[in-house]
Structure 1
Amino acid sequence: MGRAALADIKGKDFSELAKETKTNTEDTNKVSNTNKNRSTTTSDSSRKKSRRRPKKTTMPAAVMVSPVQRLFDTCKDVFALAGTGIVPTPDKIEQLRAVLDQIQPADVGLTPQMPFFSLPVTRRAPPITYLHIHECEKFSMGIFCLPPSGVLPLHNHPGMTVFSKLLFGTMHIKSYDWVVDVPSNASAVVPPSQTVQHPEVRLAKVKVDSDFTAPCNASILYPADGGNMHCFTAVTACAVLDVLGPPYSDPEGRHCTYYFDYPFTKLSVDEITVAEEEKDKYAWLQEREKPEDLAVVGAPYTGPEIVEN
């Protein structure tokens, strides 16, 4: 309602009140006594009504749940039965994916201007910053912050279901799944420099080999599908929110293994044939030690706090 309409209503009330007052001035004493009686009656009535009227209760305002709190609560539900090799049901997978897809950098306290997204000039391999949000025996939540050219080398996620949400920037992801129908007596000749420590290689198939730019949907990998071994390379400064269920655990056999990957055509292989046009979709993976130039440093998570209820 506009100001003019409100003023018109008030004007009408005031004129009616003035007219009523003029009419009642014919007998001043009568009006005085009448008003006195009215005042007493009204006062008594008001006190009675006041005693009878129940007190109004003020309902508490709805508590706003932060996106990261919603993510935590959803993870508790989705990974309630988490264990090595246990994959949540499809409806639970979609439930968690939907929550992740809504999260923005500001929801977890991130901006691209933060110092750990800057490329240092004193190191060959730029350090990667990890922001720890939460970890329990069922799942973990954290953010990897990569400056330009930062690399998380090829590694696995044994028995785990992993959700990765690119929050901002552009990242190249290359991932593999093991080929399970390789003859047991198949072998490959690996480079001599790698034979002493890790002579065995295993055939894998490329699952993803593409650039991703935010905003984009969360990606999901499973214990035996979806690209369980993957490598992240930052094309620009970028951040990726990772949810792992269950998390890494050496005592339970879920330890992180790193790999070299060799093109399919680089190694001589017995009893394995692949169509010429398919050869670039396969590679040989070989276990390796943790790369010496990999630098992952921790930093405090500064986003909204999580209430563990």
Structure 2
Amino acid sequence: MHMGIERNVSKPKGKIYSESRKNRRRQKKPTMVQKLYDTCKEVFADCGPGVVPSPDKVERLKAILDTMTEIDVGLRPDMPFFKASTAGKFPRITYQHIYECDKFSIGIFCLPPNGVIPLHNHPEMTVFSKLLFGTMHIKSYDWVKDGSTGTPLLADPLDGQSGCVRLAKVKVDSEFTAPCNTSILYPADGGNMHCFTARTSCAVLDVLGPPYCDPEGRHCQYYLESPLAKYTVNNVVIAEEENDGYAWLEERERPEDVTVVGALYTGPKIIEK
């Protein structure tokens, strides 16, 4: 005997309807951060290192991010970590961690005016970056590949020394002001190496799939830019008129003058499902 059904039948229909309507009123509308988490969970479910989500899934995630602002993550431009630095000091960048699992991570970089996130890479990762507010200059590169082997072009050794210097082509070199569309970087194209320079105080919401992981070889590598005239490939110098679109990128240690500090995320919470 289904006791639950019998109990429901014994109640007046009007009462059932009113209680149902009341329960619907109690249900809170999902926050944008929750929608972002739910979408990321679906988009990256079948992905891993070097695996890009399908185009329709990329668009789904981009559509969520495109509508987001600082209000959705509990930020205000007048918060202390957006204030300009004292003259002579390098601006300190603040990172707010929102969520991370083995499939993806979500976080926010908060930059004061003139704050810089140096040129760095995203190995085997698909990256979504959304400028929440402010104006920022973004410069990004992709590796130039050898046509026969498909590997990045290496510079000829300089003065008998072999270094890890590769040829890269500029993908983006522009200023962006919010509101603007989400930038997407792919493992092999789309500007996998990029640099952020804050023209005003600004915040960037980042989604990485998968996240950095040193044990699995996905560590953040920084680069120095050098003009084409400094190196050659197979002793061939690239034409002078192409210099603006190309550069040599040389691996470097993390710059000492860059300080990124963690801060507690105080925006809407994520409910894991």
Q: For this structure pair, what is the TM-score category when the shorter chain's length is used for normalisation?
A: 0.7 to 0.9
Code of the residue aligned with 2:28 in structure 1: it is: V
Distance 2:123 2:223 in 1: 13
Structure with larger Rg: 1
Distance 1:52 1:175 in 2: 65
Code of the residue aligned with 1:104 in structure 2: it is: T
Alignment of 1:201-212 (within 5 A): 201-212=165-176
Distance 2:182 2:154 in 1: 36
Are the equivalent residues in 2 in contact too, given 1:163–1:219 (CA < 8 A)? yes
Structure 1 residues 276 and 73 mapped into 2: Cα distance closer, same or farther (>3 Å)? same
Distance 1:228 1:98 in 2: 21
What is aligned with 1:56?
15
| Structure 1 residue 125: Cα displacement | 1.2
Aligned residue among 221, 224, 236 for 2:188: 224
Aligned residue among 66, 79, 94 for 1:101: 66
Distance 1:52 1:153 in 2: 66
What is aligned with 2:46?
81
Code of the residue aligned with 2:244 in structure 1: it is: D
Whether 1:113 and 2:72 are equivalent positions in the alignment is no
Aligned residues: 255
Code of the residue aligned with 1:212 in structure 2: it is: F
What is aligned with 2:254?
290
What is the TM-score of this pair, normalised by structure 2?
Answer: 0.87
Distance 1:179 1:97 in 2: 27
Q: Deviations over 1:186-233 (max 9, x none)?
A: 63465x8xx98x822100000001111100000000000000000000
Are the equivalent residues in 1 in contact too, given 2:168–2:249 (CA < 8 A)? yes
What is aligned with 2:112?
147
Are the equivalent residues in 2 in contact too, given 1:139–1:246 (CA < 8 A)? yes
Whether 1:133 and 2:92 are equivalent positions in the alignment is no
What is aligned with 2:242?
278
Distance 1:217 1:98 in 2: 9
More helix by share: 1
Are the equivalent residues in 1 in contact too, given 2:228–2:238 (CA < 8 A)? no
Whether 1:164 and 2:129 are equivalent positions in the alignment is yes
Structure 1 residues 54 and 280 mapped into 2: Cα distance closer, same or farther (>3 Å)? closer
Unaligned runs of 5+ in 1: 1-50
Distance 1:176 1:54 in 2: 65
> What is the root-mean-square deviation of aligned Cα atoms in Å?
2.2
- Specify the SS of the correspondent of 1:251: helix
